[in-house]
Amino acid sequence: MRRCVIIAGADIGQYDRVRPYLREDDFFICCDSGLKHREGLGIVPDLIVGDFDSHENPRLDIETIVLPREKDDTDTAFAVKEALKRGFEDFLFLGVIGGRLDHTLANISLLLMLDSEGKRAMALDDLSEMEIVSNRAAYIKDEYPYFSLLNVSGRAGGITIRGAKYPLTDGEITCEYQYGVSNEVLPGMTAEVAVKEGRLLLVRVLPGLAV
């Protein structure tokens, strides 16, 4: 099954960091002003969705779903639901982090929604990779200078961190006390994180960044 790449309108400052993540067989959905990233990413959308309040409808010979401006779903949320209807299991989000904080937080909630549906999803910006860790282990190579675990959905317990500067056994991270920020993988190792109860947002800081 092809992966679905959903592109929204937050700024992407370094296209050269993002392009290596793309695959030739990806299915690309551009959401409204996500269309501005076509040239920088070097892609042709397979589907365009939006109410076109932030970008003109280009009226290309590409499948386009025009949405009403007054609606419950953001354009990005609609794109996710449309992709789920089409059977996609694996998602990559671009242009969803940065700019308006409310949109950023809403987009992180889409990672939670997809995790609840048993789908794989990652969001990528100029600084980091983000994914939800719940009922499976996740790994961080030592090429990443830092990683963080953040509680974004209530209680998270039974947390284990191995192969890192700050290990943890059967820990708990709450929304009120986010102590899982800026951990480091031990040199030459691959860190492993796991959560028995609840969910965490794993943020891998990309190599080559001064933090």
Mean of pLDDT over the chain: 93
Give the chain's residues under pLDDT 70. Answer: 209-211
What the chain holds in terms of domains, given with CATH numbers, is 4-126 (3.40.50.10240), 133-205 (2.60.120.320)
Measure the CA–CA gap between 132 and 203, rounded to whole angstroms: 9
- For 17, 52, 57, 81, 102, the CA distances from 74, given in Å and listed in that order, are 26, 12, 17, 11, 11
The model's pLDDT over 47-71, given as tens digits with 9 standing for 90+, comes to: 999 988 878 888 889 999 998 888 8
Model-level pTM? 0.93
How many alpha carbons fall within 13 Å on the CB side of residue 199? 18
